[in-house]
Structure 1
């Protein structure tokens, strides 16, 4: 997302905070606007996986001093390694580098990331977080699934899965939550809003301008 677009968005958030404008309907219910989210999964021949995740986000409102991200990996043998690669915070208006801290706690198959911001986040800040997890028994020879929940508006999301051999089958499904959940299959190929490619040993799924949905990649190897 270009800086000019980001600054326009920040101006909107400031106007909302000052009571000049109403928040855009698609952003209501969110604390953050995610500019960029990437999840890269590399699977070895034994079915273990190394997952590297990156997310960049803006606060929609000022005053947030702590935030938590939690994950639970079902049907795996456990987490063998995890670390925070970095957390960075910058005010896009003043270009000032500000304080941000992140700590990671893990159990057998659960991960908790706690982020702290002092002073609290303010409209105009951008946070970038990168972390790595290694998981034992992440995939099997049968059907596998990797699901990402999008809980706030996200401008761009990319999921890359690297497998030890070409998958026999690879599919993507979208679940939109509501009174009656809607499950829809996303076809291979490129569209205005997404790109879904299976290329030899790689599955790539990219999607733009999304909110409040889950995306599941299902594959067999």
Structure 2
């Protein structure tokens, strides 16, 4: 069944990541210290970890069901991609919001020299902004969100090799996702840094076990 191709590896990898988080929390019991608006950091942490999982499983189901079976178009009609895209960016925005809330609730759980902190935030900001600019300028956010799973004409477009894509085939996951570390650095939050690391690794799980097989199918192993 094409819908589940390589998904055993996806969920095994996810299980290992969650196990790694569990072990980390057991080793350092102070990671979940703090609260925000009378909501404990533990609750913000659970939300901040759960939302990326929901987001990426949502993308998996939508991409595969449309790519191989045209299920969304058959059910929703011509607005299938538009509806998917709205939900995609809502979930993406929620990921960022809850990560910021988590970082704020867990602030100052590690110490970082102010100069080092400023330099790191500046470098990561410049790199991630350039990555997002390159996606918008040369690739387009619709295509980045998976338009080629819905639109056959988009599949005829050449691979992008401009902007940040001149240096890496996957500028979005390699560099744009560095922005997820910014709330943790800004608030000096252990929990937020841990979630950012989880999100960064988990997006590569998505790449290898969902996106790459799909791209090989779409672009006939030219990806």
Using structure 2 for the length normalisation, give the TM-score.
0.25
Which structure shows the bigger proportion of residues in strand conformation?
Answer: 1
Using structure 1 for the length normalisation, give the TM-score.
0.26
